[in-house]
Amino acid sequence: MMKRSAHIVWCALLLAGAAAQAGDAPTTAASTAGAPKPKIAVLPFVGATDKERSLADRMRFAVAQKLSNDANEGGEFDRIDSVQVDLTISALQIAWQGQNGQLPDDDDIQKVLETLGTDQAFVGRVQGRRLTVRLYQGTTLPKTVSAEIPSD
């Protein structure tokens, strides 16, 4: 349990860094009154080896958990469920896990983002202990953040 909470805290810091680099200003309820909440999705994270894929799955879970907690505490967004994301990728017949742990090509990622109709999306790749997270706004990629994941 301690390891999972440490990963969630670590991912929270990484997400905050990604949002700050993308220039996202915090929204208030007054500034978004009556406006629809933006949709956010966490796409699958990838890794080349079994160990990297396991870590990628845990990192995706931690990011999704952080976003869910933020939404439940009055966050100004709606998170698309990971199951819905996975079903969409399957319906589009996209092989998400490429050779050597590569992400799918940009065209496939664009198809998923357009189909989901997200305002923001996160996708990640694990290499060794290094996690690289891409933050998409709509279908454009404004920022990428990388960090070393502390050992368990």
Q: pLDDT at position 69, please?
A: 79
Helix (H, G, I), strand (E, B) or coil at 97: coil
Long-range residue pairs from 86-94, CB within 8 A, at least 24 positions apart, any chain: 86/44, 88/112, 88/115, 88/116, 89/43, 89/44
Tokens of 21: 């680099």
pLDDT of residue 107: 92
Contacts of 137 (CB under 8 A, 6+ apart): 22, 119, 120
| Cα–Cα distance measured from residue 145 to residue 126, given in angstroms and rounded to the nearest whole number | 12
Mean pLDDT on 36-63: 92
Give residue for tokens 């990604």. 18
Residues in a beta bridge with 124? 133
Predicted confidence at residue 23, as pLDDT, reads 47
Residue written as token pair 């905050």 = 16
pLDDT tens-digit map of 58-74: 999 999 888 877 766 66
pLDDT at residue number 149: 87
In this model, does residue 78 exceed pLDDT 80?
Answer: yes
pLDDT digits (tens, 9 = 90+) for 6-27: 454 455 445 545 554 444 544 4
pLDDT digits (tens, 9 = 90+) for 98-112: 778 888 998 999 999
Q: Is the dihedral of CA 118, 111, 23, 79 positive or negative?
A: positive
Q: What percent of the chain has pLDDT over 70?
A: 74
Average pLDDT over residues 22-47: 68
Q: Is the pLDDT of residue 51 over 80?
A: yes
Cα–Cα distance for residue pair 104/106, rounded to 1 Å: 7
Mean pLDDT, residues 116-130 taken together = 93
pLDDT reading at 137 higher than 90: yes
Q: Which residues of 110-120 are buried (b: 16+ CB within 10 A; e: fewer)?
A: bbbbeebebbb
